[in-house]
Structure 1
Amino acid sequence: MAFVYLEIIAMGPILKLVTERLILRAWRESDLAPFADLNADPQVMEYLPGRLDRQASDAMAGRIREQFAQRGFGLWAVEVPGRADFIGYVGLSVPRFSAPFTPCVEVGWRLAFDYWGQGYATEAARAALACGFERLGLSEIVSFTVPANRRSRRVMERLGMNHSEADDFDHPLLPSGHPLRRHVLYRLSCSDYCRKALGKQ
């Protein structure tokens, strides 16, 4: 399904979103060290291909920052005012691989383990969805993970995203036989998002 983000390119990148408890913002140099700690944590990286060393983590942060300049949106650094300057990222990205559902925009998150179980991923992801649909004019946003990642799947379900087994896929960037190759896909259309948003008013 095609997506559009023409409006935001004309306006410049969105570098800050604010929720009840969180600030989603542009990245800072001071984020790199805690981001590296997060990426080296086996609990955080359990359902990802592998932990990252400092060099790989810094390179990932660099790619994230480039996306804001190129597309106007990306994976925002997340802070909890008065508690933590950086707890990870939440936001929107364009997958770098080809699959039956691409091109697309994905909502994703990666938070430090100490901040799990407090609703931060859901709260921040809701802000990212609102930005994608209401400010960027996206027609659909997806999210995906491995079937065993029940924690992330529950976040997707709380966001109102829908899963169909027919959409499940083998991740093309992982080799055949890799234990994490199989992925589940969740979708949320703009029309479903608007309908659910209106229903809460």
Structure 2
Amino acid sequence: MIETAPGPWPELRTSRLRLRFWEARDAAPFAAQNADEETMRFLGGPMTRAQSDAYIIGTREQWSRDGFGKWVVELAETGEFVGALGLQRMRFDADFTPAVEIAWRMTRSFWGLGYATEAARAAVAFGFETLKLDEILALTVPQNLASRAVMERLGMRLSREFDHPLLPHPHPLCRHVLYRLGQG
């Protein structure tokens, strides 16, 4: 069960979006998003409700541990759930870790409207201005052209390809591209 937890969690706003901490009301739309095969095709496939709820719990624990994490992205005007986006420490060892990445997943009905880029710009600004990060990374599979386009609109530059260490080789999603964005 996901409970609403008060805390000193930062909230970000853009002209169309609000990025806020997770509340109990987010569990159902997030689970619906995570059950969508098309939304999850580059993220390991659909999740069960239990897996989705565990993801929220893990994200909230990350906020408590690190002071940052993924926010809920909602429409500022209506409060409608758009997706999840934020900064997180990479949870694996590689020659480019330790590092902080920006990551997102948006509900399919909101694709192509610029929300991921808009929210990501706010999160990147938070990372550089508030967290004082020197660099923010992003990664995805090479065939995820929509996410790669967001990375490029953020000014991120393709660094290289690599095999994701948390996925067995060969796995259809093992190969990833790494993008980098430095402050300044």
- Bucket of the pairwise TM-score, normalised by the shorter protein: over 0.9
150, 163, 172: which one pairs with 1:179?
172
1:126-165 → structure 2 map (5 Å cutoff): 126-164=121-159
Q: Tell me the TM-score normalized by structure 1.
A: 0.86
Identity percentage of aligned residues: 55
Residue 54 of structure 2 corresponds to which residue in structure 1?
59
1:100-111 → structure 2 map (5 Å cutoff): 100-111=95-106
1:24 equivalenced with 2:19 (yes/no): yes
Is the contact between residue 75 and residue 81 of structure 2 (CA under 8 Å) also seen in structure 1?
yes
Q: Provide the C-alpha distance between the structure 2 equivalents of 1:123 and 1:82, rounded to a whole number of angstroms.
A: 15
Q: Provide the C-alpha distance between the structure 2 equivalents of 1:71 and 1:94, rounded to a whole number of angstroms.
A: 8
Residue 198 of structure 1 corresponds to which residue in structure 2?
none
Runs of 5+ unmatched residues, structure 1 = 1-11, 195-201
1:79 equivalenced with 2:92 (yes/no): no
Aligned with 2:84: secondary structure?
A: strand
Higher relative CO (CA 8 A, sep ≥ 6), structure 1 or 2?
1
Aligned with 2:80: secondary structure?
A: strand
Residue 9 of structure 1 corresponds to which residue in structure 2?
none
Aligned length: 178
Q: Tell me the TM-score normalized by structure 2.
A: 0.93
121, 138, 141: which one pairs with 2:116?
121
| Higher relative helix content | 1
Is the contact between residue 40 and residue 52 of structure 1 (CA under 8 Å) also seen in structure 2?
yes
**Stretch of structure 1 that moved more, 15-24 or 83-92:** 83-92
